[in-house]
């Protein structure tokens, strides 16, 4: 999913809760924070000398050490954070979105955002 599509789905569902499934039936705790947004430019050369370039947007999802009770963040809050971020950095609208997440039972990694479930 690219950055433009991601933002569009959030805006179309602004009152919906936002949750992240990092493994089948395993979800980031409701008290997660969106702590960092990164745009990474990847430049690679394969063994045949072919150069490739693309951008990725990486959203860091972080759980506080002391988990807090309460409902999950609404998509509208994520939109507000994104608007703030894009006021500072212009992101490539076609860049693939990845989620960076980890916890005590799941090593931190960057995973492609594969879809939404409403």
Average pLDDT of the chain is 95
Interval 39-84: pLDDT, tens: 999 999 999 999 999 999 999 999 998 888 999 999 999 999 999 9
Per-residue pLDDT, averaged over 31-42, amounts to 96
Which residues sit opposite 26 in a β-bridge?
Answer: 23
The values of phi and psi at residue 50, to 5°, are -80, 120
Q: Is the pLDDT of residue 95 over 80?
A: yes
Cα–Cα–Cα angle for 76, 79, 80, rounded to 5 degrees: 90
More confident residue, 104 or 13: 13
Extract the tokens encoding 53.
Answer: 């370039």
How many Å apart are CA 89 and CA 83, to the nearest integer?
Answer: 10
The pLDDT of residue 71 is 92
Per-residue pLDDT, averaged over 74-96, amounts to 96
């Amino acid at each position: 999913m690219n950055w433009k599509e991601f933002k569009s789905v959030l805006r179309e569902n602004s009152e919906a809760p936002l949750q992240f499934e990092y493994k089948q039936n395993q979800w980031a705790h409701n008290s997660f924070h969106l702590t960092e947004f990164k745009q990474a430019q990847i430049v690679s050369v394969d063994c045949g000398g072919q150069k490739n370039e693309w951008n990725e947007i990486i959203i860091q999802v972080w759980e506080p050490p002391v988990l807090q009770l309460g409902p999950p963040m609404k998509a509208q809050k994520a939109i507000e954070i994104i608007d703030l971020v894009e006021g500072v950095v212009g992101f490539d609208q076609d860049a693939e979105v990845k989620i960076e997440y980890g916890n005590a039972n799941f090593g931190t990694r960057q995973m492609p955002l594969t879809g939404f479930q409403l």
